[in-house]
Structure 1
Amino acid sequence: MRIVRHYEHGGPSVLRVEETEKPVSAPGEVLIRTEAVGVNFAECQRRQGIAVGGPADLPGSPGGDVAGVVESVGEGVVNVSPGDRVVAGVGSNAYAEYVVNRSDWLFTIPQGIEAGPATSLPIPGQTAYHVIATAGQLQPGQSVLVHAAAGGVGHLLVQLAKALGAGTVIATASSPEKLEFAKSLGADLAFDYSQDGWDEQILTATGGQGVDLVLETVGGDILSRSVPLIRQFGRMVVYGSAGGEVPSVDVADLFDNKTVLGFSMWGLMYRQPEVMAAGAKVLLDLVGSGRVRPVVHAHVPLAEAVRAHEMMEARSQMGRVVLVP
């Protein structure tokens, strides 16, 4: 079978397609024949060796969200059977024609959902749900600011905010096209954070009060300038650093009853699996009912994984970039 690997840290060009043996499912695992693999920006950072959570091991093969058909199951697996359509967040060796994964870390794909959109369910979808509901503790009617609102997680956050009862949803992105995309998904207001004065525009739009909940994944100056946008008794949840820099936050800036907290989906998965399971049910219901609609920006052949990573690093996508065998 084909798999994408890299033997050094660096730009997208370090990725290469190789032939290898098909993996075998161990006890508690399933073997999945891949239909689509969702590309996550964190894997671009890990490939570069600059990820906050640590660089990719070498030799490496990126992780991702794999949608496909169960080929076989290992001993003790009872929740799925060969022939079932499933999707799983796979930590490594995900860019491949076949992958193995723990049986308790996958979803059955809702009826009517194609493989490409289904790749948004595990890592992006669960991250989005728990950022806004578990860590962010969104309450009905509260205002929400979503940074990078056109990205793989951000475009889900805009929709989830509306579906979970938010009042005003404010989106930021880096181009007019992305701002229109965010509005088409339900954002009430949208501002270009690549332009000077975006933060002042948001303060003006909120009557100088700021928002109840800021959802931040860019880092750097965007994070720093977002702290004053937190409303009194409001919260900011930081769940990534696409810009590669996580600045310090001055505690003195939080004395007006503000909270800034960090979120790790993997930490929640390992430490509180029951919370993950409850969130997965809500997420599947929302996607299955059409209230949240994962968007695929591009389907890219597995053999062109380099192009997929180039697209991600250019920040040109609106929604999900998906690899297909």
Structure 2
Amino acid sequence: MRAIQITEFGGPEVLVPVELPDPVPGDGQTLVEVDRAGINYADTHQAENSYLAKQELPMVPGGEVVGRTPDGRRVVALLGTGGYAEKAVAPTTTTWDVPDGIDDVTALGMIVQGVSAWLLLRRSTHLEPGESVVVHAAAGGVGTLAVQLAKAWGAGRVIATASSPEKRALALDLGADIAVDPKEPDLKAALIEANHGRRVDVVLEMTGGSVTDQSLTALAPFGRLAFYGMASRELPKPVQPANLMSHSTTVAGMWLAHVFQLPGDVMGTALDELFGLAADGRLKVVSGGEYGLSEVRRAHEDLRSRRTTGKLVLDPSR
């Protein structure tokens, strides 16, 4: 089968098209003939071995696929590695049937980005109706869905940030009340001004560095910041517990892998709600483009340079 393999860690240049034997599922695994694989920002960290989970070489990257099982079921699946290929094996416990009417891009957009947005708003920050929400990187995979979910769940004001006028326009089209350039010299003041002069209640943040620092200082009493990525690869300042107490603020971290340690089927519950909203036309995955296996380096370059919006997918047939 055709696949992308990494034999040394690094940037996009380490993604090499190869021919590999077909994977063979073991006990508790499901074989999937891949129609599309998701491309996530986390994959760029996986390629350079800078993500939360350490990687081993050689490796076929890619953590999510949609396709068919040998018995004809159409499924979407999470897997640790192996997604950038014509065939993949996934744990049966992280393989879900795709409802009729849900296309490949929507299925892939929901399984990581959609569930991440769901968890950030539902569990990490416990969004209440009427509260203000800042969504950083609002034109990205998680951001586009978080903007829509915040509005659907009654947020009083959704403030999007994005790095270009086109991306800010997209966030507004998706329902954000106002869009801000995150490169504003005084981002704290810009966020407060965007919230009619009031500090903000909730911030979803995946940039790192000064964006995190200024967003934290823009929080209202009992405001919550959920940190789920560091796209800039710049560390924010250490958080001082005394400062949290003095302002009654909360900082949460979120890594999707931990959803499987929660009691009950939280992942299934989230997907059911997300697919239902998509089927009703109340939630849409923004397609950010499709790449063939031969174009995967360009996909990672586009991600790292922030040229992309929405959900990117890989077509292993070309």
TM-score, normalization by structure 2: 0.94
The one of 267, 273, 281 aligned to 1:282 = 273
Structure 2: tracts of 5 or more residues without a match: none
CA distance in 2, matches of 1:299, 1:185: 21
Give ranges in structure 1 of 5+ residues lacking alignment: 72-81
CA distance in 2: counterparts of 1:133 and 1:195, whole angstroms: 29
The equivalent residue for 1:20 is 20
Distance 1:63 1:271, change over 3 A: farther
Q: Which amino acid aligns with 1:261?
A: A
Q: Cα 1:273–1:307, aligned 2, differ >3 Å: closer, same or farther?
A: farther
Q: 2:306 aligns with which of 298, 315, 321?
A: 315
Give distance in 1, aligned partners of 2:6 and 2:78.
Answer: 20
8 Å contact kept, 2:37–2:62: no
RMSD of Structure 2 on Structure 1 (CA): 1.5
User: Secondary structure of 1:298's match?
Assistant: strand
Whole-angstrom distance in 1 between the partners of 2:23 and 2:126: 40
Alignment of 1:89-238 (within 5 A): 89-238=78-227
Aligned to 2:31: 31
- Structure-2 residue corresponding to 1:59: 58
Task: Report whether the alignment pairs 1:253 with 2:243.
Answer: yes
- CA displacement 1:118-164 (0-9 Å, x = unmatched): 21121111111111111111111111000011111111111111112
Aligned length in residues:
314
Look up the SS of the partner of 1:321 in the other structure.
strand
Q: CA deviation at 1:284?
A: 2.0
* Local SS of the residue matching 1:266: helix
- Alpha-carbon distance, 1:276 to partner: 2.4
Superposition deviation, residue 300 in structure 1? 0.5
Structure 1 counterpart of 2:254, which letter? F
TM-superposed CA distance for 1:214, in Å, is 0.6
SS at match of 2:202: strand
Alpha-carbon deviation of 1:273?
4.8
Instruction: Tell me which residue corresponds to 1:68.
Output: 67
- Partner amino acid, structure 2, of 1:181: L
What is the one-letter code of the residue matched to 2:107?
Answer: A
Q: Which residue of 2 aligns with 1:78?
A: none
Q: Show the counterpart of 2:5.
A: 5
Spell out, residue by residue over 1:49-84, the C-alpha distance to the aligned partner (whole angstroms, 9 max, x if none): 333x1443222221232111112xxxxxxxxxx211
Residues of 2 paired with 1:239 and 1:34: CA distance? Answer: 28
**Which of 213, 226, 242 is matched with 2:231 structurally?**
242
| Amino acid in the other structure paired with 1:253 | N
Counterparts in 2 of 1:270-309, with a 5 A limit?
A: 270-309=261-300
Letter in 1 for 2:142: V
- Letter of the 1:166 partner, please give it: A
Q: Match of 2:315? A: 324
Q: Which moved more, 1:176-185 or 1:120-129?
A: 120-129
The answer for the alignment partner of 1:77 in structure 2 is: none
Q: Distance in 2 between matches of 1:271 and 1:5?
A: 33
The runs of 4+ residues in structure 1 deviating greater than 6 Å are none
Alignment of 1:264 onto 2:263: no
CA distance in 1, matches of 2:184, 2:196: 21
